[in-house]
Amino acid sequence: MSDLLVIKTFHLLGFAGCLSASFFKNLLLRRPAIEGPALSRLVGLDKLSGGSSVVILATGILMAGWFAKPTGFYLHSPLFWGKVTLFTLASAAILTTKPLLRRAKAEGVLRPAPRERLVMMFDFGSILVIAMLGLWLARALA
Ligand code: HEM
């Protein structure tokens, strides 16, 4: 298997991890209160999306820097910068929910406010758009 194929497979695994974690977090956040096993599940999903984001970022940098098309192609592509910008915005939005999750773990309950629900919906939508931009980049001729 070529290096690019291995890296791409991990990029896609990271995508699957992020997307499924975000989907199930969105479902959980529809409840008025999350506690007990559901809260542990939410914390687990948060770890899954954090780990998956690290894999996505590392493999994305490897592809853009060395293993896929020439780096200049990406640096001159608005699609690439759109992908990176949206990834940064979605990651920053998720980071703002971390203190809340820490507090919920200490108190044993999370009562999601509209803001947290909105952040999670933004995260899910961003992942889909970022993936679409990735598909365009992969299919574009260098
Ligand atoms: C949630 C975040 C992300 C998702 C869901 C995602 C998803 C994808 C997908 C589905 C592809 C198409 C793979 C294929 O079929 O060939 C792709 C390609 C790509 N991604 Fe990402 N990606 C994300 C973040 C990033 C980041 C942060 C970077 C760079 C720092 C990056 C760099 C790339 C590059 C360079 C390609 C194109 C490879 C090629 O030209 O063949 N991705 N991405």
Model confidence pLDDT, tens digit, residues 63-104: 999 999 999 999 999 999 999 999 999 999 999 999 999 999
The token duo for 35 is: 């506690």
Q: Is 70 helix (H, G, I), strand (E, B) or coil?
A: coil
Helix or strand (DSSP H, E) at 34: strand 34-35
The token duo for 58 is: 């590392």
Pocket test for ligand 1, best of 11, 18, 124 (most atoms within 8 A of CB): 11
The number of folded domains in the chain is 1
Q: Are 71 and 65 in contact (CB under 8 A)?
A: yes
Rounded to an integer, what distance in angstroms lies between the CA atom of residue 15 and that of residue 32?
28
On the question of pLDDT at 1 being above 90, the answer is: no
Q: Are 15 and 23 in contact (CB under 8 A)?
A: no
Separation of 89 CA from ligand 1 center, angstroms? Answer: 16
What residues does ligand 1 touch, defined as CB less than 6 Å away? 8, 11-12, 15, 18, 56-57, 60-61, 63-64, 68-69, 74, 83-84, 87, 127, 130-131, 134-135, 137-138
Which one, of 24, 35, 47, lies nearest residue 111 by Cα?
35
Phi–psi pair at 109, nearest 5 degrees: -155, 145
Q: pLDDT-derived band of residue 44, with 50, 70 and 90 as boundaries?
A: very high
How much is the pTM? 0.94
Range of the structural domain that residue 72 is part of: 3-139
Q: Which residue matches tokens 């853009």?
A: 64
On the question of pLDDT at 52 being above 90, the answer is: yes
Rg (CA), the chain: 17
The token duo for 135 is: 């598909």
